[in-house]
Amino acid sequence: MAEQLKNLYSKEFIEKLANKLSLTYSNFEKENFINSIFDASWEELELKARMRHIALTLNKYLPLTYKKQVEILKEVKKDFGGLEAMVFQDFVEVFGLDDLEESLNALEVFTQDSSSEFAIRQFILKYEEETMDQMKLWSQSSNEHLRRLSSEGCRPRLPWAVALPKFKQNPSKVLEILELLKNDKSLYVRKSVANNLNDISKDNPELVIEFVKENLGSTKELDWICKHASRTLLKKGDKQILDLFDFSKSHHINLTNFCYDKSVNVDENLTFSFEINSNEIIGNIRVEYVIYYLKSNNIHNKKVFMISQNEIKSSSKKFTKKQSFKNMTTRKHYLGKHFIAILINGVEVLKEEFYLNDTSN
């Protein structure tokens, strides 16, 4: 079983943090701090709740002005990086909202070898103009962590983070930053640009379609951004996007020899295979499959999965796939009739039913 993310905040991490704090701040009550972290609620807390608990406890054991607290944490942060180091940014998010200048400076430091993408959002919500002006400056930084923050921090729908409703409605300020970053030399930054555009496509698809029209074919790097940014629109079968990526031609393709499990058990795999063939070279093609999951209300929920997205330089191609029906915390499967479908260049060309059973009883 994979290690739970919340265990990033281990006993070793907390002890290391306490040791570094005591070296920087001589009055730090190290043992009391550690005991306060591992209180009765600790084991039940998930990752972000643990992060917040540590930030609140830091404030308690650093009984100083916010400016002094941040000076100490900047020094301590030098020995920490990655996801777990975001506890420093969380501290700023909780205790720094009334000091914009000091907090933006702290987030600039803390984002190095970590990320301030979650914390910066509260400042965007409270000080939109000032924070977005700073994000523009960061977009021109020589440091890729700051450039990436200027994009990642203003994503309208950043996962695990509070949404930015104004940018979901009108992302013009976000697009100004993305224009400054779209040719960035760092893949780390370009991935963020593409993910930001993909967020925008969910509320303002026409803006992303326009971006693709203007930038597709300029450079290999921009082509990658355009395609990665369009993944939601491609999944939805948006005709304009399919046309732009030359995924519009499918009438010459035949789907044959479709074989699949007409019955599958919970915790097992649905297996299926099929061939596509043509009287000519197949060419540029996007092949996907759809599972229409039966839900508790007897409605079917459609979910699209990728099989292949590239140029096929032959007249036939066989595909074999399997789809897990293992129950998970994020997906519960309901017994009864489901459907599987095949999409070719966004067009559903085949749809068949199958049944999900439970043999555990």
Domain boundaries, the chain: 5-244, 254-357
Pick the CATH number of 254-357 from 3.40.605.10, 2.60.40.10, 3.50.30.30, 3.40.50.410: 2.60.40.10
Closest listed residue to residue 290, CA positions, set 355, 357, 236, 232:
236
Q: What is the pLDDT of residue 1?
A: 35
* C-alpha to C-alpha distance for 252 and 249, rounded to whole angstroms: 8
CB–CB of 287/343 below 8 Å? Answer: yes
Closest listed residue to residue 24, CA positions, set 56, 49, 61, 57:
61
Rounded (10°) angle between helices 66-77 and 11-24: 120
Structure tokens at 173: 């300020």
Q: What CATH number does the domain located at 5-244 have? A: 1.25.40.290
Q: What is the pLDDT of residue 40?
A: 93
CB–CB of 121/92 below 8 Å? Answer: no
Q: What is the pLDDT of residue 2?
A: 42
pTM: 0.85
Q: Per residue, what are the HEC states of 284-335?
A: EEEEEEEEEEECCCCCEEEEEEEEEEEEECCCEEEEEEEEECCCECCECCCC
Which residue stretches of the chain have pLDDT < 70? 1-3, 250, 360-361
Q: How far is CA 56 from CA 8, 16, 31, 137, 230, in A?
A: 18, 18, 16, 31, 40
Closest listed residue to residue 184, CA positions, set 124, 138, 232, 231:
138
Q: What is the pLDDT of residue 307?
A: 96
Structure tokens at 130: 């000032």
Structure tokens at 49: 């709740």
* C-alpha to C-alpha distance for 335 and 298, rounded to whole angstroms: 10
Q: Are strands 283-294 and 263-265 parallel, antiparallel or unpaired?
A: unpaired
- Which residue has tokens 């701040």? 25
DSSP class of 351:
E
DSSP class of 116:
-
How many residues are there in the chain? Answer: 361
Per DSSP, the three-state class of 79 is coil
Identity at 327, one-letter amino acid code: N
Identity at 7, one-letter amino acid code: N
* C-alpha to C-alpha distance for 284 and 275, rounded to whole angstroms: 16
